Chains A and B, each alone.
Chain A
Amino acid sequence: MIKVSSEFAARMKQVKGFNAGSCYHCGTCSALCPLGYKIMPRKLFREVMLGLEDEVRASIPQIFSCLLCRMCEANCPQGVHIADNMRSLRVFFNRQEFDLK
């Protein structure tokens, strides 16, 4: 069962610099990622926007393993700033989970 948390979704809306609203799930990012299918930006971003707290938290290692190489971003047909989004999620979880600033 997928649990949606509106409270978590509201908090994720406050993540500065995160914007994936125009992603239409084509999968170009996943297909080109040097990590293979270990990170699925389109899936992660949808989980963030929907407020799927358990799924997003389980993806913290993936968020920190993004290479920030921009291979996905350079080829995204919708111009989503994928690497910047990943970095924004790192800033958020560093504070929330690790007490690091």
Chain B
Amino acid sequence: MPLPIQHIMGIFVDNVKKRGSVLPLSKRTATGWAKGLDLPRGGDTVLYTGHMYQMIPAIDAMASQMALLENSFLTKFFGIGRVMNKFISLSFFMGLTASAKKMERSNQVLRDIVGLLRDAGVKFGYLYEDEFYAGALLYDDGLDESFGNHARRVAAHLKKLGVKRLITVDPHTTKMLRQAYPHFVKDFDIEVVNYLEVLAEKHPEAAKQMNGEVVVHDSCVYARYEDICEQPRELLRAAGITVREPELAGKSTHCCGGPLESLFPAEAHRISGNRVDQLAAQGKNVVTMCPFCWVNLSKAAGDRIVINDIASALAAGRRQLSPSH
């Protein structure tokens, strides 16, 4: 039997309503990456992670478990699972099997983004435990009433904290805050910019010129919803990195399959395999700019290609100069 999509979406709805996120994270998992960075709390301009990179190790672990369940007799029990999840966060426990190594890699991406923005002279704070998931999965799955309620809660909270400008770090949170929130939240007037746009506008000099080349995998959401195609390439070139384009790139980028990971895992794996073939044809080192592309393509890649987030590729030079950051 295929996975019962209504029960899985029901768990997302319940989790957001009760616990503020489709995949609730502990405070340590959500904010631990910022430890030792001395990021000021709050302020007019804040870096907004939306918990996406922090969720990745747990999503990775959960997706493997879901793939095992797909087409098994256990799918019959998802309805019971939804009822149990109202009382005990099942997804939280499923996520506990996340690998510490993957968590460290995800956290390093966020630390690299902070380093790059600081090098470019950008001033910003961070909301720590006052930051919430933006609601992308609810919106994409067409759960509009739940999404609207959540978006209004998040927006009111940001307003109360006096936030005027958000610097986002992933495509899905960017799209939610910039395109969906204005439709669901009356008078939503917080400016939303993405860190790649901020960096490209500042034209920062790379801390250290790098050599080598990377194959760029564009995010569908950046390329076709947010018009972010040139900025990542400009930044890579400015850091001395040669950009190689796969068969489908920029506005014509091919999806990584990630959006299907929670409801149709087998299909997600088939699509990510196709994309890995296209990327591998152009080179061994690939950069992604979305945490979901990163996790989904990495699973399909095996040892055929090495996939890094663009922030880590851009920050490699500065980390060589200052290994502790």
Q: Determine if A20 is an interface residue (Cβ-Cβ < 8 Å).
A: no
- Whether the pair A87, B255 counts as a contact (CB closer than 8 A) is no
- Whether the pair B6, A98 counts as a contact (CB closer than 8 A) is yes
Q: Determine if B74 is an interface residue (Cβ-Cβ < 8 Å).
A: no
Q: Determine if B2 is an interface residue (Cβ-Cβ < 8 Å).
A: yes
Q: Determine if B18 is an interface residue (Cβ-Cβ < 8 Å).
A: no
- Whether the pair A100, B9 counts as a contact (CB closer than 8 A) is yes
- Whether the pair A68, B251 counts as a contact (CB closer than 8 A) is no
Chain A's interface size range is 20 to 34
Which residue from B2, B145, B252, B260 sits with its C-beta under 8 Å from A67? B260
Q: Name the residue on A nearest B275 (C-beta).
A: A34
Interface mask (B174-185 → A, CB under 8 Å = 1, otherwise 0): 000000000000
Known contacts A35-B267, A94-B141, A100-B143; is-contact A65 B260 (Cβ 8 Å): yes
- A74 — which chain B residues lie within 8 A by C-beta? 224, 251-252
Most buried by B among A74, A89, A93: A74
Interchain nearest-CB distance for B135 vs A (Å): 14
Q: Determine if B220 is an interface residue (Cβ-Cβ < 8 Å).
A: yes
- Whether the pair B271, A35 counts as a contact (CB closer than 8 A) is yes
- Whether the pair A90, B10 counts as a contact (CB closer than 8 A) is no
- Whether the pair A97, B252 counts as a contact (CB closer than 8 A) is no
Q: Determine if B257 is an interface residue (Cβ-Cβ < 8 Å).
A: yes
Interchain nearest-CB distance for B66 vs A (Å): 14
- Whether the pair B264, A101 counts as a contact (CB closer than 8 A) is no
Known contacts A70-B225, A87-B140, A91-B142; is-contact A65 B263 (Cβ 8 Å): yes
Interface mask (A56-96 → B, CB under 8 Å = 1, otherwise 0): 00000100110111110110000000000001111111100
Known contacts A74-B224, A97-B6; is-contact A69 B255 (Cβ 8 Å): yes
Interchain nearest-CB distance for A27 vs B (Å): 18
- B257 — which chain A residues lie within 8 A by C-beta? 34, 67
- Whether the pair B220, A91 counts as a contact (CB closer than 8 A) is no
- Whether the pair A67, B220 counts as a contact (CB closer than 8 A) is yes
The binding surface of chain A is classed by DSSP as helix
- A94 — which chain B residues lie within 8 A by C-beta? 9, 141-143
- B220 — which chain A residues lie within 8 A by C-beta? 67-71
Which residue from A34, A73, A88, A97 sits with its C-beta under 8 Å from B224? A73
- B75 — which chain A residues lie within 8 A by C-beta? none
Interchain nearest-CB distance for A95 vs B (Å): 9
Q: Name the residue on A nearest B142 (C-beta).
A: A90
Interchain nearest-CB distance for A67 vs B (Å): 5
Most buried by B among A64, A69, A92, A97: A69
- B275 — which chain A residues lie within 8 A by C-beta? 34
Q: Determine if B5 is an interface residue (Cβ-Cβ < 8 Å).
A: yes
- B140 — which chain A residues lie within 8 A by C-beta? 68, 87
Interface mask (B258-279 → A, CB under 8 Å = 1, otherwise 0): 0110011001000100110000
Known contacts A71-B254, A97-B6, A100-B10; is-contact A88 B263 (Cβ 8 Å): no
Known contacts A64-B263, A98-B9, A100-B10; is-contact A34 B144 (Cβ 8 Å): no
Interchain nearest-CB distance for A17 vs B (Å): 10
- Whether the pair B274, A34 counts as a contact (CB closer than 8 A) is yes
Interface mask (B191-224 → A, CB under 8 Å = 1, otherwise 0): 0000000000000000000000000000010001
Complex A-B: 28 CB contacts under 8 Å: A34-B271, A34-B274, A34-B275, A35-B267, A64-B5, A64-B263, A64-B264, A67-B255, A67-B257, A67-B259, A68-B259, A70-B220, A70-B224, A70-B225, A71-B252, A71-B254, A71-B255, A74-B251, A87-B139, A87-B142, A91-B142, A91-B144, A94-B142, A98-B5, A98-B6, A100-B9, A101-B13, A101-B144
Residues of A at the B interface (CB closer than 8 Å) are 34-35, 38, 61, 64-65, 67-71, 73-74, 87-94, 97-98, 100-101
Leading 9 A-B pairs by shortest Cβ distance: A90-B142, A101-B145, A98-B6, A69-B220, A69-B255, A70-B224, A91-B142, A67-B255, A67-B259
